[in-house]
Amino acid sequence: MTKPIIPTDYQRLHLKTVFAFMICDTHISQDEVSLIRQKAKDKVFGDLKIEDELAELIDHVNRRGIDFFDDYFKKVQRVEMTDEEELNLLQSAIQTIKADDKITQEEINFLKILRVLLQVSNESIVTRFPEVGPQFVDKDRFTDIYFKELYANYAKLKTMPIFDISDVQDITETIDRK
């Protein structure tokens, strides 16, 4: 009998990153949901049970509102990651932002906040993502005051809607399984 594979903190953080970037503009598009499903199929999140995890994340954001993001950013700071894992996190964040073909200022600011929390070098980011440009990666420009102001402005402007599990889960899938 094989032991179940326990998901790592990084795999959970990776899913939470895609989820956070999916909801940071207060809208869940089906293209973003499709991206999560494809990443789950490709085992980017390991063996996480995506439906259960998404239900838990939706419950968390509905209970905590905008404070969900504060929890998320603290998790980013706590999880130890290699440079490659940090780059993969950024890649997933960028893919999520681009998934619905609408890039909002909130998403750009959110990406800047994530960048500040990561340790990966500017050169590594520009090499992997030349489209983001040097103004994004220059971590030195993002002082603590700038970071706090950016986050405070984001939090002040946004009230989170109440999300429903049907936003991320095809209800017919649940019915078909019974």
Integer CA distances (angstroms), 10 to 43, 51, 66, 152, 156, in order: 13, 18, 22, 26, 29
- The pLDDT score that the predictor gives to residue 156 is 58
- The pLDDT score that the predictor gives to residue 157 is 54
Q: Give the integer Cα–Cα distance in Å for 107 and 88.
A: 17
Average pLDDT over residues 39-59: 93
For 42, the token pair is 């490709």
- Asked if residue 54 has pLDDT above 50, the reply is yes
Top-ranked range on mean pLDDT: pick from 51-55, 57-61, 85-89, 103-107: 85-89
Task: Give 108-119 pLDDT, tens digit per residue.
Answer: 888 888 998 999
- Asked if residue 2 has pLDDT above 70, the reply is no
- The pLDDT score that the predictor gives to residue 174 is 39
- The pLDDT score that the predictor gives to residue 176 is 38
Listed residue (16, 109, 64, 84) closest to 8, CA to CA: 16
Cβ proximity of 161 and 26 under 8 Å: yes
Residue written as tokens 């991320």? 168
- The pLDDT score that the predictor gives to residue 10 is 96
Listed residue (162, 163, 117) closest to 139, CA to CA: 117
- Asked if residue 173 has pLDDT above 50, the reply is no
Cβ proximity of 29 and 103 under 8 Å: no
163's enclosing H/E stretch is none
Question: pTM here?
Answer: 0.81
User: In residues, how long is the chain?
Assistant: 178
Residues 6+ apart with CB under 8 A from 132: 94, 125, 126
Mean pLDDT of the chain: 82
Q: Which residue has the higher pLDDT, 24 or 172?
A: 24
Average pLDDT over residues 145-171: 62
- The pLDDT score that the predictor gives to residue 122 is 86
Cβ proximity of 24 and 66 under 8 Å: no
- Asked if residue 177 has pLDDT above 80, the reply is no
Radius of gyration of the CA atoms of the chain, in A: 16
Average pLDDT over residues 141-156: 61
Listed residue (5, 4, 40, 6) closest to 169, CA to CA: 40
Which sign does the torsion angle of CA 74, 76, 81, 82 carry?
A: negative
Cβ proximity of 160 and 50 under 8 Å: no
- Asked if residue 1 has pLDDT above 60, the reply is no
Q: Which residue has the higher pLDDT, 33 or 142?
A: 33
